[in-house]
Amino acid sequence: MHDDRRITEQRLDRFVRERILPAIYGRAIPLQLSSWDAPGEPVPAAEAIRQLFTPQEHGAPWGKAWSTKWLHLQGEVPQDWGMAESTSVEIIVDLGFNSDAPGFQCEGTAWRADGSIIKAISPRNFHVPLKLLGGGLSVDFYVEAAANPDVAQGWSFAPTPLGDKATSGDDPRYRLGRIAMAELNETVWELNQDIWTLSGLMHELPTELPRRHEILRALERMLDVMDPDDVAGTAAAGREELKAVLDRPAYASAHQLLATGHAHIDSAWLWPVRETIRKCARTFSNVVALMDEDPDFVFSCSSAQQMAWIKEYFPELFVRIREKVKAGQFIPVGGMWVESDTNMPGGEAMARQFVEGKSFFLKEFDVECQEAWLPDSFGYSGAIPQIVKEAGSRWFLTQKISWNKVNRMPHHTFTWEGIDGTRLFTHFPPVDSYNAELHGRELAHAERNYRDHGRGTMSLVPFGYGDGGGGPTREMVAAAHRTADLEGSPKVRMGTAKDFFTQAEAEYANLPVWVGEMYLEMHRGTYTSQAKTKRGNRRSEHLLREAELWCSTAAVRLGADYAYPRDELKRLWRLVLLQQFHDILPGSSIAWVHQDAERNYEAISRDLEAIISEAAQALVGDGDTSYLLNAAPHRRDGVAALGIGEGAGSGAGVQVDQSGESFILDNGVIRAVLDGNGLLTSLVDHASGRDAIAPGQTGNLLELFRDTPNEWDAWDIEEFYRRNVTQLTQADTIDLERTPAGAVVVVQRKVGASTITQRVTLDAGAKSLGIATTVDWQEREKMLKIAFPLDVRADRSASETQFGHVFRPTHTNTSWEAAKFEICAHRWIHVAEPGYGVAVSNSSSYGHDVTRAVRPDGGTTTTVRTSLLRSARFPDPEADRGEHTLELSIRPGAAIADAVEEGYRTNLKPRFVTGGHAVEPLVSVSNPAVVVEAVKLAEDGSGDVIVRLYESLGERSAATVRPGFEAVGATATDLLERVAVAPGVTAGEDSEVHLVLRPFQLVTLRFTR
């Protein structure tokens, strides 16, 4: 037989494009239009509908960036429309869409005249069925049209002013397209779905497989029987020709795909939070309408914050969603407040993501999520398995690791083992997308790509337009039905994530194990971009720690005389958790988002400072004595951990000598030498007598790197950045200041258009040297790091993560190690050889790198660098420009325990209050290796005290925990404060709790008052 395959495929493509698609809608008439332009930010529907609407021209330009236009659509349906079999009436609304990008442009929401929401209007979902308007033959409804600009610009990563309302311009960005009442031919629409499914499958089948040719010839027969001049009249005959190939059942061994509707709605990204709220309403109204049409359709919603927005701003829609939850179609998943970043949030914040998310879903829907759902976060901390399990969940899902640039994950279904040994059933969907359309190409890829064939038989597919694109469509649901049992295709079944995990866990025993973090070999720049957002996060986390501690202490010590601000603390926690979303905290959003974040952090700081001040003053009472509030988990300046007392002196003062141009600072604990340019030439701890700085090299070395990633500017750092570096070795001025606490060397430098002032501080009794770097940053496409070349032969570095730390090799023996050229650490990073180590702590930085070199003398130099600032041009062309202060300390002769203590010291600055008496700690722990991370009152309002603690050194540690108040009992709980089994936890007498903890074990204790 002659091979005419290409000819037939081309014939099919043109026939669909020119004949079938135009025939989906038959008769059509334009609607009467009027409009009203919202003068500023969006307004509620009820308010907009009351406005004076004026006539609106069809096809007119509209919408300056970020504006809102309300359209009023009116008309009468002809009597004979929709009367024929398989026809119905719909309104089609084209706001000027580009159908190539469903989530990154204008979109709309349809509203009834009574102010109830109908559904979304989006580039690939622009129809409104007449039956949704309330019946009758009159068309009378409103469309809220949002002129969201296309910030992505085809993913060119070019700088754009569109991400800031102040610079986005006043010119209209769109032109109204077709807005009409039309008659839908359902048979033609169904035929189009048949063709789409079969053609997609056909193109994925090998040419030598008979099934491919069988589908081709069926499509050819369909083309032959159909009349191109009467598509509507011959569509049924065309469908009949395809019936036999659509009815062929799948292979018995076909891979099974559980498809769950999804809409990965970024809580902010290339649009502000205020637009996300509307995107949620559009998407969720869409899926509820789909559920009304198809009882098999199931949708997974992963963010409690988004549901809270719907409850607050769209209560009528929230009621409808609640009904669908009860019906088992609208499924809360994930159990987190937002789909947060997991690299940078602190331990308690990561725990609160689950506490707030799961509590909300339980309260509002009586649903407890069993899976953590994080398809798009930029890598996954090794602490996550324990946190997920402690929250009462069983499973984990991610997708983003498919973006790895170098190494491919070896499994799709596996056990993930965390830093403490907790194991978690994990799935990584082989479809490699969280925005699937259920196209044949995607389904075939999922089957081919699955790496666990022979052991597992199924995987999960989240389908629906994401990133704000509107979620699943009726076309996707149609594809799911057609591929449920189709030869050549995986078997697709719609269902819930719980359905998938339950079945996959049951069928797949002896899972392979992945140990430690799941590092994303991409988006490493997110540890550094938008420094003010990161500083706001770190500061907020520690202010919340202080506020909860002192408020709890006041509530217990003062009883009825002090009211615990439960609601206000919850509000502030939720605001902090929102800003840990995986495009806000990482610094990968438009300017508007980060301006909002900075304003929010300022408000959070102001409110928490007031709460702390009120609680502290209530605790110490009236008087003239100055007291130190020690919120750290370690004794500080003579004051017990978590207590309030008169601080002891810090010991002898600081001796300052000058030798030539060098400054020598010595407090009897450590000795630091800075040369005439402010570079650290020596750092000795007197206990060991050893110099931490490598011979002939200098620390406190600022290095400026070229930073021009191939794409994804705010997200990425490429390894080749290291090849272009300028070392800032020259100082403009250097001066010495004496302070009551010690001595400060002040160094000023200039680089490019930026000025840098460093304050290098040694205080009396301090075990570390402090360095505060203030930068008026005006660079573009540059990265600023601070380097410490250390005389330490370290084969690995330790970086703090949630409730522990993670080790990473300093060498690059394998491609996995080489890919980790930029790593994330929380408050500290530590490098050591047996018997000696150095810790570098920071107050707001997360990005680091550690390199090593062997010197001619045979010694090894291990260089620790902390990334201070970047200056990406997309999506915020002014990212990080302005003034920043970044603080760190370097502690020589430090063990891991010293690094842990130094991290808290750097982030919990001394706080003093004047009053009449000291305050004993609410709780004490006998072993400093066991660190208290949070003290708070119970969520249930009982007044019980909750203490969250963890083993911090990575070793087996024993401790006794004693309440400093009258308690009638103590129990171990999960993160949601429900009684739980905690290995190594034993209740003793007088409500003491005895602990024998495994490395990094996390424990939550409830002391009953």
- 299-310 pLDDT, tens digit per residue, is 999 999 999 999
C-alpha separations of 740 from 628, 638, 664, 759 in Å: 17, 18, 18, 15
Average pLDDT of the residues in 911-929:
97
Q: What angle do CA 467, 471, 476 make, to 5 degrees?
A: 130
Q: In what order do the strands lie in the sheet with 754-763?
A: 733-738, 742-751, 754-763, 769-777, 882-892, 836-842, 828-833, 796-801, 804-809
Mean pLDDT score of the chain: 96
Residue 455 CB partners (closer than 8 Å, separation 6+): 508, 510
Average pLDDT of the residues in 172-185:
97
Give the separation between CA 331 and CA 297, rounded to whole angstroms: 11
Residue 1 CB partners (closer than 8 Å, separation 6+): none
Instruction: Please give the helix or strand (H or E) that residue 108 lies within, else none.
Output: strand 107-112
Token pair 């096809």 is found at 59
Give the separation between CA 341 and CA 84, rounded to whole angstroms: 53
Average pLDDT of the residues in 750-762:
97
Residue 566 CB partners (closer than 8 Å, separation 6+): 937, 941
Give the separation between CA 524 and CA 197, rounded to whole angstroms: 38
Centre a 10 Å sphere on the Cβ of residue 866 and count the other Cβ atoms it contains.
Answer: 25
Q: How confident is the model at residue 651 (pLDDT cuts 50, 70, 90)?
A: low
Percent of the chain with pLDDT over 70: 100
- 822-870 pLDDT, tens digit per residue, is 999 999 999 999 999 999 999 999 999 999 999 999 999 999 999 999 9
Of 695, 759, 698, 770, nearest to 728 (Cα)? Answer: 698
Q: How confident is the model at residue 85 (pLDDT cuts 50, 70, 90)?
A: confident
- Residue 68, pLDDT > 70, answer yes
- Residue 136, pLDDT > 90, answer no
Q: What angle do CA 809, 811, 817 make, to 5 degrees?
A: 65
Q: How confident is the model at residue 932 (pLDDT cuts 50, 70, 90)?
A: very high
Q: Which three-class secondary structure state does DSSP give residue 745?
A: strand
> CB-hemisphere CA count at 13 Å for 96?
20
- 38 touches 67 (CB < 8 A): yes
Backbone φ, ψ for residue 863 (5° rounding): -100, 120
Q: What angle do CA 822, 789, 826 make, to 5 degrees?
A: 40
- pLDDT for 99 equals 73
- pLDDT for 650 equals 64
C-alpha separations of 706 from 38, 534, 727, 780 in Å: 44, 22, 12, 9
Q: Which three-class secondary structure state does DSSP give residue 154?
A: helix
466 φ/ψ sector (left φ>0, alpha ψ -120 to 50, else beta): beta
- 647 touches 756 (CB < 8 A): no
Q: Which three-class secondary structure state does DSSP give residue 199?
A: helix
Average pLDDT of the residues in 145-151:
97
Q: Which three-class secondary structure state does DSSP give residue 185?
A: strand
- Residue 472: asked if its preceding bond is cis (omega within 30°), the reply is no
- pLDDT for 325 equals 98
Catalytic residue status for 685: no
- pLDDT for 468 equals 82
DSSP 763-807: ETT-SSEEEEEEEEE--SSEEEEEEEEES---SEEEEEETTEEEE
- 275-294 pLDDT, tens digit per residue, is 999 999 999 999 999 999 99
Q: Are strands 68-76 and 32-37 parallel, antiparallel or unpaired?
A: antiparallel
Q: Which of 37, 376, 485, 776 is catalytic?
A: 376
DSSP 823-881: EE-SSEEEEEETTEEEEEEESS--EEEEEEEE-TTS-EEEEEEEEEE----SS-TTTT-
Of 322, 378, 323, 390, nearest to 350 (Cα)? Answer: 390
Of 512, 525, 524, 518, nearest to 816 (Cα)? Answer: 518
Average pLDDT of the residues in 942-971:
97
- 759-790 pLDDT, tens digit per residue, is 999 999 999 999 999 999 999 999 999 999 99
- 482-499 pLDDT, tens digit per residue, is 999 999 999 999 999 999
E-strand stretches of 329-449? 330-336, 371-374, 395-398, 413-417, 423-427
532 φ/ψ sector (left φ>0, alpha ψ -120 to 50, else beta): alpha
Token pair 């004047």 is found at 914
Instruction: Please give the helix or strand (H or E) that residue 664 lies within, else none.
Output: strand 662-666
H and E: helices and strands count for the chain: 19, 53
Residue 900 CB partners (closer than 8 Å, separation 6+): 800, 828, 931, 952, 953
- pLDDT for 726 equals 97
Instruction: Please give the helix or strand (H or E) that residue 546 lies within, else none.
Output: helix 531-558
- 354 touches 1002 (CB < 8 A): no
Tokens coding 627? 């007291």
- 412-442 pLDDT, tens digit per residue, is 999 999 999 999 999 999 999 999 999 999 9
- pLDDT for 122 equals 94
DSSP 579-628: TTBTTTTTS-S-HHHHHHHHHHHHHHHHHHHHHHHHHHHHHH-S-SEEEE
- pLDDT for 1 equals 63
Tokens coding 969? 């009992």
- 666-717 pLDDT, tens digit per residue, is 999 999 999 999 999 999 999 999 999 999 999 999 999 999 999 999 999 9
Give the separation between CA 163 and CA 152, rounded to whole angstroms: 10
Residue 302 CB partners (closer than 8 Å, separation 6+): 262, 264, 332, 333, 334, 336, 339, 373
- 377-394 pLDDT, tens digit per residue, is 999 999 999 999 999 999
- 397 touches 513 (CB < 8 A): no
The DSSP 8-state label assigned to residue 19 in this structure reads I
Average pLDDT of the residues in 754-758:
98
